[in-house]
Protein backbone atom coordinates (compact mmCIF):
# COMPACT_ATOMS: atom_id res chain seq x y z
CA UNK A 1 0.00 0.00 0.00
CA UNK A 2 2.92 2.37 0.82
CA UNK A 3 4.20 1.91 -2.69
CA UNK A 4 1.16 3.62 -4.08
CA UNK A 5 1.16 6.44 -1.52
CA UNK A 6 2.40 9.79 -2.82
CA UNK A 7 5.91 10.65 -1.68
CA UNK A 8 4.83 13.71 0.34
CA UNK A 9 2.38 11.60 2.30
CA UNK A 10 5.11 9.13 3.12
CA UNK A 11 7.26 11.96 4.41
CA UNK A 12 4.36 13.46 6.36
CA UNK A 13 3.65 10.13 7.93
CA UNK A 14 7.26 9.60 8.93
CA UNK A 15 7.44 13.01 10.59
CA UNK A 16 3.96 12.65 12.04
CA UNK A 17 4.95 9.41 13.72
CA UNK A 18 7.92 11.10 15.32
CA UNK A 19 5.69 13.88 16.57
CA UNK A 20 3.04 11.51 17.82
CA UNK A 21 5.57 9.25 19.49
CA UNK A 22 7.19 12.18 21.22
CA UNK A 23 10.58 11.98 19.45
CA UNK A 24 9.91 15.58 18.49
CA UNK A 25 8.05 17.49 21.17
CA UNK A 26 6.80 20.74 22.50
CA UNK A 27 8.13 23.54 20.40
CA UNK A 28 11.03 21.72 18.77
CA UNK A 29 12.02 23.33 15.55
CA UNK A 30 11.70 21.00 12.59
CA UNK A 31 14.38 20.72 9.94
CA UNK A 32 14.09 23.32 7.19
CA UNK A 33 12.45 22.33 3.97
CA UNK A 34 15.74 22.45 2.09
CA UNK A 35 17.65 20.43 4.67
CA UNK A 36 15.02 17.73 4.87
CA UNK A 37 14.80 17.52 1.11
CA UNK A 38 18.54 16.81 0.91
CA UNK A 39 18.48 14.42 3.82
CA UNK A 40 15.64 12.34 2.39
CA UNK A 41 16.61 12.73 -1.25
CA UNK A 42 13.18 14.09 -2.23
CA UNK A 43 12.19 17.32 -3.91
CA UNK A 44 11.67 20.56 -2.00
CA UNK A 45 8.12 20.56 -3.21
CA UNK A 46 7.51 17.17 -1.62
CA UNK A 47 8.76 18.30 1.78
CA UNK A 48 6.72 21.49 1.54
CA UNK A 49 3.57 19.47 0.85
CA UNK A 50 4.36 17.17 3.75
CA UNK A 51 4.61 20.15 6.07
CA UNK A 52 1.27 21.44 4.81
CA UNK A 53 -0.22 18.09 5.74
CA UNK A 54 1.19 18.18 9.22
CA UNK A 55 0.00 21.73 9.66
CA UNK A 56 -3.51 20.71 8.68
CA UNK A 57 -3.36 17.96 11.24
CA UNK A 58 -2.48 20.50 13.88
CA UNK A 59 0.82 18.81 14.60
CA UNK A 60 3.13 21.62 13.46
CA UNK A 61 2.82 25.34 13.06
CA UNK A 62 4.59 27.66 10.68
CA UNK A 63 6.24 30.66 12.32
CA UNK A 64 6.90 33.47 9.86
CA UNK A 65 10.55 33.91 8.89
CA UNK A 66 11.49 31.04 11.12
CA UNK A 67 10.16 27.74 9.83
CA UNK A 68 8.09 24.89 11.21
CA UNK A 69 7.76 24.02 14.87
CA UNK A 70 6.21 21.07 16.62
CA UNK A 71 3.04 22.36 18.12
CA UNK A 72 3.12 21.90 21.83
CA UNK A 73 0.47 19.85 23.52
CA UNK A 74 -0.01 22.81 25.81
CA UNK A 75 -0.70 25.05 22.81
CA UNK A 76 -3.43 22.72 21.71
CA UNK A 77 -4.83 22.10 25.17
CA UNK A 78 -5.57 25.79 25.51
CA UNK A 79 -7.94 25.75 22.58
CA UNK A 80 -9.56 22.32 22.58
CA UNK A 81 -12.40 21.43 24.95
CA UNK A 82 -11.48 20.38 28.47
CA UNK A 83 -10.71 16.78 29.25
CA UNK A 84 -13.99 15.33 30.47
CA UNK A 85 -14.38 14.39 34.11
CA UNK A 86 -17.53 12.31 34.44
CA UNK A 87 -18.40 10.73 37.77
CA UNK A 88 -16.82 7.35 38.35
CA UNK A 89 -20.21 5.69 38.73
CA UNK A 90 -22.21 3.44 36.46
CA UNK A 91 -25.53 4.96 35.41
CA UNK A 92 -28.77 3.52 34.20
CA UNK A 93 -30.78 6.73 34.04
CA UNK A 94 -33.69 7.06 31.69
CA UNK A 95 -33.00 9.07 28.60
CA UNK A 96 -36.46 10.56 28.32
CA UNK A 97 -35.28 14.18 28.54
CA UNK A 98 -32.62 13.71 25.94
CA UNK A 99 -35.03 11.86 23.76
CA UNK A 100 -37.56 14.56 23.27
CA UNK A 101 -34.67 16.86 22.32
CA UNK A 102 -33.30 14.34 19.86
CA UNK A 103 -36.62 13.60 18.27
CA UNK A 104 -37.27 17.26 17.69
CA UNK A 105 -33.84 17.76 16.11
CA UNK A 106 -34.13 14.71 13.90
CA UNK A 107 -37.56 15.77 12.72
CA UNK A 108 -36.30 19.25 12.01
CA UNK A 109 -33.16 18.33 10.13
CA UNK A 110 -35.27 16.34 7.68
CA UNK A 111 -37.59 19.24 6.93
CA UNK A 112 -36.78 21.30 3.87
CA UNK A 113 -35.29 24.71 4.52
CA UNK A 114 -33.38 23.73 7.63
CA UNK A 115 -29.65 24.02 8.09
CA UNK A 116 -28.90 20.59 9.59
CA UNK A 117 -25.73 21.17 11.62
CA UNK A 118 -26.96 18.25 13.72
CA UNK A 119 -26.55 15.83 10.81
CA UNK A 120 -24.99 12.45 11.58
CA UNK A 121 -23.76 11.54 8.11
CA UNK A 122 -21.78 13.16 5.31
CA UNK A 123 -24.11 15.01 2.94
CA UNK A 124 -25.31 12.92 -0.03
CA UNK A 125 -23.40 15.15 -2.47
CA UNK A 126 -20.20 13.75 -0.95
CA UNK A 127 -21.26 10.18 -1.65
CA UNK A 128 -20.97 8.17 -4.90
CA UNK A 129 -24.69 8.03 -5.68
CA UNK A 130 -24.49 7.10 -9.36
CA UNK A 131 -21.74 4.56 -9.07
CA UNK A 132 -23.55 2.81 -6.27
CA UNK A 133 -26.76 2.71 -8.27
CA UNK A 134 -24.86 0.97 -11.03
CA UNK A 135 -23.26 -1.40 -8.56
CA UNK A 136 -26.75 -2.30 -7.32
CA UNK A 137 -27.97 -3.02 -10.83
CA UNK A 138 -24.91 -5.16 -11.38
CA UNK A 139 -25.82 -7.01 -8.17
CA UNK A 140 -29.30 -7.68 -9.57
CA UNK A 141 -27.73 -9.31 -12.60
CA UNK A 142 -25.21 -11.29 -10.57
CA UNK A 143 -27.30 -12.75 -7.78
CA UNK A 144 -29.46 -15.78 -8.56
CA UNK A 145 -33.03 -14.81 -9.43
CA UNK A 146 -32.30 -11.10 -9.19
CA UNK A 147 -31.54 -11.29 -5.48
CA UNK A 148 -34.99 -12.34 -4.31
CA UNK A 149 -33.66 -15.45 -2.59
CA UNK A 150 -32.43 -15.59 1.00
CA UNK A 151 -28.87 -14.40 1.42
CA UNK A 152 -26.46 -16.49 3.49
CA UNK A 153 -27.08 -15.98 7.18
CA UNK A 154 -23.51 -14.90 7.85
CA UNK A 155 -23.85 -12.37 5.04
CA UNK A 156 -23.09 -12.03 1.37
CA UNK A 157 -19.86 -13.87 0.68
CA UNK A 158 -18.48 -11.44 -1.90
CA UNK A 159 -18.87 -8.68 0.66
CA UNK A 160 -17.27 -10.67 3.46
CA UNK A 161 -14.32 -11.35 1.17
CA UNK A 162 -13.98 -7.67 0.34
CA UNK A 163 -14.08 -6.73 4.01
CA UNK A 164 -11.39 -9.31 4.73
CA UNK A 165 -9.29 -7.94 1.86
CA UNK A 166 -9.85 -4.40 3.02
CA UNK A 167 -8.69 -5.32 6.54
CA UNK A 168 -5.29 -6.22 5.13
CA UNK A 169 -4.23 -2.60 5.62
CA UNK A 170 -3.59 -3.36 9.28
CA UNK A 171 -1.96 -6.69 8.61
CA UNK A 172 -5.18 -8.51 9.37
CA UNK A 173 -5.29 -12.24 8.86
CA UNK A 174 -9.09 -12.30 9.07
CA UNK A 175 -10.83 -14.51 6.55
CA UNK A 176 -14.37 -14.06 5.28
CA UNK A 177 -15.35 -16.93 7.57
CA UNK A 178 -14.62 -14.78 10.62
CA UNK A 179 -16.80 -11.89 9.50
CA UNK A 180 -20.57 -11.54 9.84
CA UNK A 181 -22.36 -8.76 8.03
CA UNK A 182 -25.02 -6.72 9.82
CA UNK A 183 -27.60 -4.14 8.84
CA UNK A 184 -25.45 -1.19 9.85
CA UNK A 185 -23.18 -0.58 12.80
CA UNK A 186 -25.81 -0.12 15.52
CA UNK A 187 -27.08 -3.59 14.71
CA UNK A 188 -23.50 -4.88 15.01
CA UNK A 189 -23.00 -3.17 18.38
CA UNK A 190 -26.35 -4.50 19.63
CA UNK A 191 -25.40 -8.03 18.64
CA UNK A 192 -22.03 -7.69 20.37
CA UNK A 193 -23.60 -6.38 23.57
CA UNK A 194 -26.18 -9.14 23.60
CA UNK A 195 -23.41 -11.66 23.11
CA UNK A 196 -20.97 -10.53 25.80
CA UNK A 197 -23.19 -9.06 28.53
CA UNK A 198 -26.17 -9.87 30.72
CA UNK A 199 -28.73 -7.37 31.95
CA UNK A 200 -27.30 -5.45 34.89
CA UNK A 201 -23.71 -5.54 33.57
CA UNK A 202 -21.71 -2.35 33.20
CA UNK A 203 -20.27 -1.16 29.90
CA UNK A 204 -17.46 1.41 29.81
CA UNK A 205 -17.67 4.12 27.14
CA UNK A 206 -16.07 7.42 26.18
CA UNK A 207 -17.52 10.66 27.53
CA UNK A 208 -18.97 12.59 25.77
CA UNK A 209 -20.38 9.64 23.87
CA UNK A 210 -22.73 9.32 20.90
CA UNK A 211 -26.26 9.21 22.33
CA UNK A 212 -27.15 6.25 20.10
CA UNK A 213 -24.61 4.17 21.98
CA UNK A 214 -26.17 5.23 25.29
CA UNK A 215 -29.62 4.31 24.01
CA UNK A 216 -28.51 0.91 22.79
CA UNK A 217 -26.75 0.04 26.04
CA UNK A 218 -29.65 1.18 28.22
CA UNK A 219 -32.28 -0.55 26.10
CA UNK A 220 -30.54 -3.86 26.78
CA UNK A 221 -30.83 -3.36 30.54
CA UNK A 222 -27.16 -2.52 30.96
CA UNK A 223 -25.38 0.22 32.93
CA UNK A 224 -23.12 2.86 31.45
CA UNK A 225 -19.79 3.86 32.91
CA UNK A 226 -18.49 7.03 31.28
CA UNK A 227 -14.71 7.36 31.28
CA UNK A 228 -12.71 10.59 31.45
CA UNK A 229 -11.76 11.33 27.87
CA UNK A 230 -9.07 13.54 26.43
CA UNK A 231 -10.23 15.46 23.35
CA UNK A 232 -7.02 14.53 21.53
CA UNK A 233 -6.05 11.08 22.75
CA UNK A 234 -9.27 9.44 23.92
CA UNK A 235 -10.16 7.63 27.13
CA UNK A 236 -7.99 7.67 30.22
CA UNK A 237 -6.65 4.14 30.47
CA UNK A 238 -5.45 4.54 34.03
CA UNK A 239 -8.98 5.23 35.18
CA UNK A 240 -10.29 2.35 33.10
CA UNK A 241 -7.72 0.03 34.67
CA UNK A 242 -8.79 1.00 38.17
CA UNK A 243 -12.37 0.08 37.30
CA UNK A 244 -11.22 -3.20 35.80
CA UNK A 245 -9.19 -3.99 38.91
CA UNK A 246 -12.28 -3.87 41.10
CA UNK A 247 -14.38 -5.84 38.60
CA UNK A 248 -16.65 -2.93 37.87
CA UNK A 249 -16.72 -3.30 34.09
CA UNK A 250 -17.99 -6.29 32.14
CA UNK A 251 -17.40 -4.90 28.65
CA UNK A 252 -15.93 -1.86 26.91
CA UNK A 253 -17.62 -0.23 23.94
CA UNK A 254 -15.26 2.34 22.50
CA UNK A 255 -14.79 4.32 19.32
CA UNK A 256 -10.99 4.40 19.40
CA UNK A 257 -10.61 6.12 16.02
CA UNK A 258 -12.45 9.46 15.73
CA UNK A 259 -15.02 9.04 18.43
CA UNK A 260 -18.30 10.82 17.98
CA UNK A 261 -18.59 13.69 19.01
CA UNK A 262 -14.95 14.44 19.92
CA UNK A 263 -13.24 13.16 16.80
CA UNK A 264 -10.23 12.13 18.89
CA UNK A 265 -8.06 9.18 18.00
CA UNK A 266 -6.30 7.01 20.54
CA UNK A 267 -2.61 6.78 19.67
CA UNK A 268 -1.60 3.30 18.58
CA UNK A 269 0.35 2.81 21.79
CA UNK A 270 -2.83 3.50 23.78
CA UNK A 271 -4.78 1.06 21.66
CA UNK A 272 -2.21 -1.61 22.29
CA UNK A 273 -2.26 -0.95 26.02
CA UNK A 274 -6.06 -1.06 25.97
CA UNK A 275 -6.06 -4.51 24.37
CA UNK A 276 -3.47 -5.74 26.88
CA UNK A 277 -5.74 -4.53 29.68
CA UNK A 278 -8.60 -6.46 28.13
CA UNK A 279 -6.39 -9.54 28.09
CA UNK A 280 -5.29 -9.14 31.69
CA UNK A 281 -8.87 -8.85 32.94
CA UNK A 282 -10.45 -11.05 30.23
CA UNK A 283 -12.95 -8.37 29.30
CA UNK A 284 -14.33 -8.06 25.75
CA UNK A 285 -13.74 -4.86 23.81
CA UNK A 286 -16.46 -3.89 21.37
CA UNK A 287 -14.59 -1.69 18.93
CA UNK A 288 -16.81 0.66 16.97
CA UNK A 289 -14.61 1.47 13.98
CA UNK A 290 -17.32 3.25 12.06
CA UNK A 291 -15.25 6.35 11.30
CA UNK A 292 -11.80 4.80 10.88
CA UNK A 293 -11.75 5.36 7.11
CA UNK A 294 -12.32 9.09 7.51
CA UNK A 295 -8.81 9.95 8.72
CA UNK A 296 -7.15 13.27 7.94
CA UNK A 297 -3.60 12.04 8.46
CA UNK A 298 -2.14 10.14 5.50
CA UNK A 299 -2.55 6.72 7.10
CA UNK A 300 -5.62 5.00 8.34
CA UNK A 301 -5.22 4.48 12.08
CA UNK A 302 -4.82 0.90 13.23
CA UNK A 303 -7.89 -0.52 14.92
CA UNK A 304 -7.53 -2.15 18.33
CA UNK A 305 -8.30 -5.39 16.52
CA UNK A 306 -4.76 -5.19 15.10
CA UNK A 307 -3.43 -5.86 18.61
CA UNK A 308 -5.89 -8.61 19.45
CA UNK A 309 -4.12 -11.88 20.24
CA UNK A 310 -6.90 -13.63 22.14
CA UNK A 311 -10.01 -12.85 20.13
CA UNK A 312 -11.29 -10.44 22.78
CA UNK A 313 -11.89 -7.60 20.35
CA UNK A 314 -15.21 -7.54 18.47
CA UNK A 315 -14.36 -5.31 15.52
CA UNK A 316 -17.42 -3.51 14.13
CA UNK A 317 -17.63 -1.32 11.06
CA UNK A 318 -20.01 -0.10 8.43
CA UNK A 319 -20.31 1.62 5.09
CA UNK A 320 -23.01 3.94 6.42
CA UNK A 321 -20.69 6.89 6.93
CA UNK A 322 -18.58 6.47 3.83
CA UNK A 323 -20.82 5.08 1.09
CA UNK A 324 -24.54 4.71 1.68
CA UNK A 325 -26.28 5.21 5.02
CA UNK A 326 -29.49 3.83 3.56
CA UNK A 327 -28.01 0.57 2.32
CA UNK A 328 -27.65 -0.71 5.89
CA UNK A 329 -24.45 -2.60 5.41
CA UNK A 330 -22.11 -3.12 8.33
CA UNK A 331 -20.08 -5.95 9.77
CA UNK A 332 -18.54 -7.47 12.84
CA UNK A 333 -15.51 -9.70 13.28
CA UNK A 334 -16.40 -11.07 16.70
CA UNK A 335 -13.22 -13.02 17.47
CA UNK A 336 -13.78 -15.73 20.05
CA UNK A 337 -17.45 -14.77 20.33
CA UNK A 338 -18.25 -15.74 16.75
CA UNK A 339 -20.48 -18.73 17.45
CA UNK A 340 -22.47 -17.13 20.25
CA UNK A 341 -23.01 -13.95 18.26
CA UNK A 342 -24.00 -15.74 15.09
CA UNK A 343 -26.56 -17.76 17.01
CA UNK A 344 -28.23 -14.62 18.35
CA UNK A 345 -28.26 -13.07 14.90
CA UNK A 346 -29.75 -16.20 13.41
CA UNK A 347 -32.51 -16.52 15.96
CA UNK A 348 -33.51 -12.92 16.28
CA UNK A 349 -33.68 -12.00 12.61
CA UNK A 350 -31.99 -8.96 11.27
CA UNK A 351 -30.52 -9.86 7.93
CA UNK A 352 -29.85 -7.24 5.34
CA UNK A 353 -30.81 -7.98 1.75
CA UNK A 354 -28.17 -9.66 -0.36
CA UNK A 355 -28.61 -7.01 -3.06
CA UNK A 356 -27.28 -4.03 -1.12
CA UNK A 357 -24.47 -6.14 0.28
CA UNK A 358 -23.46 -7.37 -3.15
CA UNK A 359 -23.65 -3.79 -4.45
CA UNK A 360 -21.19 -2.64 -1.79
CA UNK A 361 -18.99 -5.65 -2.57
CA UNK A 362 -19.00 -4.64 -6.23
CA UNK A 363 -18.03 -1.12 -5.31
CA UNK A 364 -15.16 -2.41 -3.20
CA UNK A 365 -13.96 -4.96 -5.72
CA UNK A 366 -11.81 -2.48 -7.60
CA UNK A 367 -10.12 0.73 -6.53
CA UNK A 368 -13.29 2.81 -6.63
CA UNK A 369 -13.68 2.71 -2.85
CA UNK A 370 -10.13 3.89 -2.21
CA UNK A 371 -10.48 6.68 -4.76
CA UNK A 372 -13.81 7.74 -3.32
CA UNK A 373 -12.45 7.72 0.23
CA UNK A 374 -9.46 9.82 -0.76
CA UNK A 375 -11.75 12.48 -2.18
CA UNK A 376 -14.21 12.25 0.71
CA UNK A 377 -11.46 12.62 3.30
CA UNK A 378 -10.00 15.62 1.53
CA UNK A 379 -13.36 17.31 1.39
CA UNK A 380 -14.18 16.56 5.02
CA UNK A 381 -10.78 17.79 6.13
CA UNK A 382 -11.30 20.99 4.14
CA UNK A 383 -14.80 21.38 5.61
CA UNK A 384 -13.42 20.90 9.08
CA UNK A 385 -10.84 23.64 8.73
CA UNK A 386 -13.33 26.11 7.30
CA UNK A 387 -15.94 25.36 9.96
CA UNK A 388 -13.33 25.72 12.71
CA UNK A 389 -12.08 28.98 11.26
CA UNK A 390 -15.59 30.38 11.00
CA UNK A 391 -16.43 29.38 14.54
CA UNK A 392 -13.24 31.03 15.76
CA UNK A 393 -14.28 34.18 13.90
CA UNK A 394 -17.84 34.44 15.16
CA UNK A 395 -17.90 32.76 18.55
CA UNK A 396 -16.74 34.62 21.69
CA UNK A 397 -13.13 34.40 22.73
CA UNK A 398 -12.51 31.49 25.05
CA UNK A 399 -14.58 29.15 22.91
CA UNK A 400 -12.90 25.77 22.76
CA UNK A 401 -13.15 23.76 19.57
CA UNK A 402 -12.16 20.16 19.16
CA UNK A 403 -9.43 19.24 16.69
CA UNK A 404 -10.86 16.14 15.11
CA UNK A 405 -8.33 13.91 13.43
CA UNK A 406 -11.05 12.39 11.30
CA UNK A 407 -14.82 11.94 11.04
CA UNK A 408 -17.21 14.83 10.55
CA UNK A 409 -18.18 16.24 13.93
CA UNK A 410 -16.89 19.16 15.96
CA UNK A 411 -17.32 19.43 19.70
CA UNK A 412 -17.55 23.05 20.79
CA UNK A 413 -17.35 24.19 24.39
CA UNK A 414 -18.54 27.72 25.09
CA UNK A 415 -18.76 29.92 28.17
CA UNK A 416 -20.15 28.02 31.18
CA UNK A 417 -23.07 30.46 31.44
CA UNK A 418 -24.47 29.31 28.12
CA UNK A 419 -27.10 26.57 28.12
CA UNK A 420 -26.92 24.92 24.72
CA UNK A 421 -30.24 23.14 25.24
CA UNK A 422 -31.98 26.51 25.37
CA UNK A 423 -29.73 27.75 22.58
CA UNK A 424 -30.87 24.88 20.33
CA UNK A 425 -34.47 25.95 20.89
CA UNK A 426 -33.67 29.53 20.04
CA UNK A 427 -31.89 28.43 16.89
CA UNK A 428 -35.01 26.59 15.76
CA UNK A 429 -36.50 30.00 14.99
CA UNK A 430 -33.76 30.40 12.38
CA UNK A 431 -34.23 26.83 11.18
CA UNK A 432 -30.76 25.91 12.34
CA UNK A 433 -30.45 22.56 14.06
CA UNK A 434 -27.58 21.70 16.42
CA UNK A 435 -27.18 18.99 19.03
CA UNK A 436 -26.82 20.25 22.60
CA UNK A 437 -24.00 18.67 24.60
CA UNK A 438 -26.29 17.29 27.30
CA UNK A 439 -27.51 14.46 25.06
CA UNK A 440 -23.99 13.02 24.94
CA UNK A 441 -23.97 11.89 28.56
CA UNK A 442 -26.22 10.31 31.17
CA UNK A 443 -24.80 12.70 33.72
CA UNK A 444 -25.66 16.38 34.06
CA UNK A 445 -22.70 17.71 32.10
CA UNK A 446 -21.77 19.29 28.77
CA UNK A 447 -24.59 21.79 29.23
CA UNK A 448 -22.34 24.42 27.62
CA UNK A 449 -21.20 22.20 24.75
CA UNK A 450 -22.63 21.40 21.35
CA UNK A 451 -21.93 19.06 18.48
CA UNK A 452 -21.70 20.64 15.05
CA UNK A 453 -21.43 18.40 12.04
CA UNK A 454 -19.27 19.43 9.10
CA UNK A 455 -20.69 16.75 6.85
CA UNK A 456 -22.19 19.47 4.63
CA UNK A 457 -19.90 21.31 2.23
CA UNK A 458 -18.99 24.73 3.58
CA UNK A 459 -20.89 27.54 1.89
CA UNK A 460 -22.41 30.94 2.63
CA UNK A 461 -25.42 29.44 4.31
CA UNK A 462 -23.25 27.42 6.67
CA UNK A 463 -21.23 30.56 7.40
CA UNK A 464 -24.44 32.44 8.14
CA UNK A 465 -25.57 29.60 10.41
CA UNK A 466 -22.36 29.56 12.42
CA UNK A 467 -22.40 33.34 12.61
CA UNK A 468 -25.98 33.26 13.91
CA UNK A 469 -25.04 30.80 16.63
CA UNK A 470 -22.10 32.99 17.58
CA UNK A 471 -24.28 36.08 17.72
CA UNK A 472 -26.84 34.44 19.98
CA UNK A 473 -24.08 33.39 22.34
CA UNK A 474 -22.60 36.89 22.34
CA UNK A 475 -26.03 38.34 23.10
CA UNK A 476 -26.59 36.03 26.01
CA UNK A 477 -23.23 36.77 27.51
CA UNK A 478 -23.87 40.49 27.21
CA UNK A 479 -27.07 40.31 29.29
Residues at the contact surface with a copy of itself, assessed by CB under 8 A: 121, 124, 127, 129-130, 132-133, 136-137, 140, 143-151, 182-190, 199, 212, 215-216, 218-220, 323-328, 343-344, 346-356
SS3 263: coil
Find the shortest distance in angstroms from Cβ 123 to a copy of itself. Answer: 10
Find the shortest distance in angstroms from Cβ 199 to a copy of itself. Answer: 7
DSSP state at residue 406: B
Instruction: Tell me whether residue 10 or residue 154 sits nearer to a copy of itself (CB atom).
Output: 154
Instruction: Tell me whether residue 271 or residue 328 sits nearer to a copy of itself (CB atom).
Output: 328
Instruction: Tell me whether residue 303 or residue 354 sits nearer to a copy of itself (CB atom).
Output: 354
Q: How far is CA 314 from the centre of its chain?
A: 17
Sorted by sequence, the CB contacts under 8 Å of residue 174 that are 6+ apart come out as 163, 164, 167, 333
Instruction: Tell me whether residue 147 or residue 231 sits nearer to a copy of itself (CB atom).
Output: 147
| Nearest Cα residue to 216 out of 181, 273, 244, 255 | 255
Q: Which residues of 135-165 are buried (b: 16+ CB within 10 A; e: fewer)?
A: bbebbeebbeeebeeebeebbbbbbbbbbbe
Find the shortest distance in angstroms from Cβ 94 to a copy of itself. Answer: 11
Rounded to an integer, what distance in angstroms lies between the CA atom of residue 194 and that of residue 178?
18
Instruction: Tell me whether residue 25 or residue 133 sits nearer to a copy of itself (CB atom).
Output: 133
Find the shortest distance in angstroms from Cβ 223 to a copy of itself. Answer: 15
Rounded to an integer, what distance in angstroms lies between the CA atom of residue 478 and that of residue 472?
10
Find the shortest distance in angstroms from Cβ 202 to a copy of itself. Answer: 18
| Nearest Cα residue to 453 out of 391, 369, 397 | 391
Instruction: Tell me whether residue 171 or residue 199 sits nearer to a copy of itself (CB atom).
Output: 199
Find the shortest distance in angstroms from Cβ 141 to a copy of itself. Answer: 9
Sorted by sequence, the CB contacts under 8 Å of residue 25 that are 6+ apart come out as 19, 70, 72, 73
Instruction: Tell me whether residue 110 or residue 245 sits nearer to a copy of itself (CB atom).
Output: 110
Find the shortest distance in angstroms from Cβ 450 to a copy of itself. Answer: 22
β 202-205/223-226 pair status: parallel
Amino acid sequence: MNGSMPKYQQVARQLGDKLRLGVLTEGDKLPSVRMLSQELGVSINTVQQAYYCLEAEGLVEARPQSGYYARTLIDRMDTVPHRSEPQAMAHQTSLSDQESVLRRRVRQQQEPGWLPLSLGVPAPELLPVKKLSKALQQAQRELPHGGIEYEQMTGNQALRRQIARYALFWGSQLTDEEIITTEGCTAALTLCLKTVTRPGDTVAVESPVYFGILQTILSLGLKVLELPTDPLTGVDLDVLERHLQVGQVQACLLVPSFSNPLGCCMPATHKQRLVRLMERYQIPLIEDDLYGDLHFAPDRPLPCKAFDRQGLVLWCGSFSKTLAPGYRVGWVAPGRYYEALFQIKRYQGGFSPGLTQQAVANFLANDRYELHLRRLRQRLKGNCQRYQQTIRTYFPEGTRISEPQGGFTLWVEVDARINTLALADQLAVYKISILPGSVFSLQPQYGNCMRLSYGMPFNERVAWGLQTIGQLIHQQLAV
